[in-house]
Amino acid sequence: MDFDRLHALTFSALYVCAALLTFILIERVLYFGYLGLKARRITARLRDAALVANPAGDVLTQSVAEYVAFQARGTEPRARVDDLSNALFLRVDTRLHARLWILDTIVTAAPLLGLLGTIFGIMETFTSLSAGGISDPATVSRGIGLALQATALGIATALYGLLSHNALHRQAEHLADEFKMFLLRTTL
């Protein structure tokens, strides 16, 4: 078995995880910033008819426009208004938490991938020792040091992902709470 190739493969998987974490972090930060700006604009022009007539393409503005238009009819019973507010909240909440599960998965998998890389690296070192009869301690130390780099990379990736996930999850919860408060404040 080619343990060196498996060791390199785990490093590649960890690099892909780190890149994916970075991409999702940037995408979510930009998206949440965009929705934050939209929320402030919506609040400023809440009773503006243009908001209802031409909602923007984001889920927050569309949901607000749909809710305001639904209530403007004035003929719907309170239970239907409550049902719509719950449905709109679920729609917005789902979009806010999109892709955060990937970060959670990477946080869990990265240390395990690092450990797997360490195991493969140590197995490669011992295979080389037994095949070549190498007795140089420096060679063994280098091999084990390289193997432990996988563990370090796995833990670093998990920490990066954990911090990113917690920050993004908190921001998503804040935006969802703001939307829920908007729905409660504007229910007629």
Residue pLDDT, tens place only, 126-136: 887 777 666 66
Domain ranges of the chain: 3-186
- Nearest Cα to 62, choosing from 74, 73, 54? 54
Give the contacts of 52 (CB within 8 A, at least 6 positions apart): 65, 68, 69, 72
pLDDT more than 90, % of the chain? 44
Stated pTM of the model: 0.78
Residue pLDDT, tens place only, 58-114: 888 888 888 888 888 878 888 898 899 999 999 999 999 999 999 999 999 999 999
Burial (CB count within 10 angstroms: exposed 0-12, middle 13-18, buried 19+), residue 113 = buried
